[in-house]
Amino acid sequence: MKNALSIDLEDWFCVYNLRGVVEKQDWSKQELRIGRSTRLILKLLSEHHTKATFFVLGWIAERVPELIGEIEGHGHEIATHGYSHTLLTEMTPQSFEEDLKRALEVTRVCTHQEILGFRAPSFSITDKTSWAFEILERNGIRYDSSVFPIAFHPDYGMPTAPLSIHKVGELLIEFPLSCVEILGRRIPCSGGGYFRMYPYSLTRSLLKRCNREGRPAIFYFHPWEIDADQPRVELPRLKRWRHYYNLDKTLSRLDRLLSDFEFTSVKEVLGL
């Protein structure tokens, strides 16, 4: 079964976990490290003959448009991650639509593709922000991959959402972040921090279970997650662990993952 591989294209200082330390107005003062990390990812994907979807943050597209062109040149799908990495739970429908339109505008000039996909910052489409689906559809988005069908996370989650791909509008498709239900509990196996914290064997087992249940999985990670040399900032102990744990092992784990599973872009999995 072909699974979907996705990369949220944002730099180390864009992360929600760091927003109390690196203010958004100071982003332009930070060291841009996304080029080197992304090119390591492109090299790894080429070695495995694998295509992926890159959910591009508009702020990044403005500053490194040539990198977006390079990603497209390798045959990968370009989708959008919004412009400012503001959580939808902190936006109104109007401000979200403005942010989305700005992201689409600045990203479209970097690519020859039609932008079909969206992922909300920090998976912040929840029951309270489901108004976003109508706005996405109105702006030509054909699929969303923002819904995490879990209940335990303090910042995101739609605990009653289906685990499988489903429609959330007349044309809009939801590809939820992959989870496995075990004894009534939903266990995430989609990547990111879960991939860095779990033993690799657990991730592999859960993804295989998704496929046995007839569901293509979707896996995500960020370029900063393979950058162990990124600047270190002072964080509370739990946030520090979540952000920096196993950064030096992520690239080799991804290499193993791409050997164990077949991946492609979200667009291809959905047949768009």
Domain of residue 35, CATH code: 3.20.20.370
Whole-number Å distance between alpha carbons of 250 and 225: 7
Quick check: pTM over 0.75?
A: yes
For 141, counting Cβ atoms within 10 Å of its Cβ (0-12 exposed, 13-18 middle, 19+ buried), the class is: buried
Higher pLDDT, 120 or 237: 120
Asked if residue 236 has pLDDT above 90, the reply is: no
- SS3 of 24, please? helix
Query: What is the model's pLDDT at position 151?
Result: 81
Domain that holds residue 146: 2-270
- As given in the structure block, the two tokens for residue 76 are 């990968």
At residue 127, the pLDDT reads 92
pLDDT for position 164: 97
* pLDDT, tens digit (0-9, with 9 covering 90-100), for 140-170: 999 999 999 998 776 777 899 999 999 999 9
Collapsing DSSP to helix, strand or coil, 180 comes out as strand
Count CB-CB contacts under 10 A for residue 244: 17
- SS3 (DSSP) at 173: strand
Q: How far is CA 256 from the centre of its chain?
A: 20
Do residues 26 and 101 lie in contact, with contact meaning Cβ atoms separated by under 8 Å?
no
pLDDT at res. 19: 84
Asked if 78 and 106 count as a contact pair (C-beta separation under 8 A), the reply is: no
Tell me how many domains the chain contains. Answer: 1
Residue closest to 85 by CA, chosen among 48, 113, 124, 129: 124
Average pLDDT of every residue of the chain: 95
CA atoms within 13 A on the CB side of 166: 10
Sort 238 into a burial class: Cβ within 10 Å, 0-12 / 13-18 / 19+: exposed
Q: Which pLDDT value is given to residue 125?
A: 95
Residue 244's alpha-carbon distances to 62, 122, 228, 247, 271, in angstroms, are 27, 17, 8, 6, 36
Angle (CA) 45 188 149, round 5°: 115
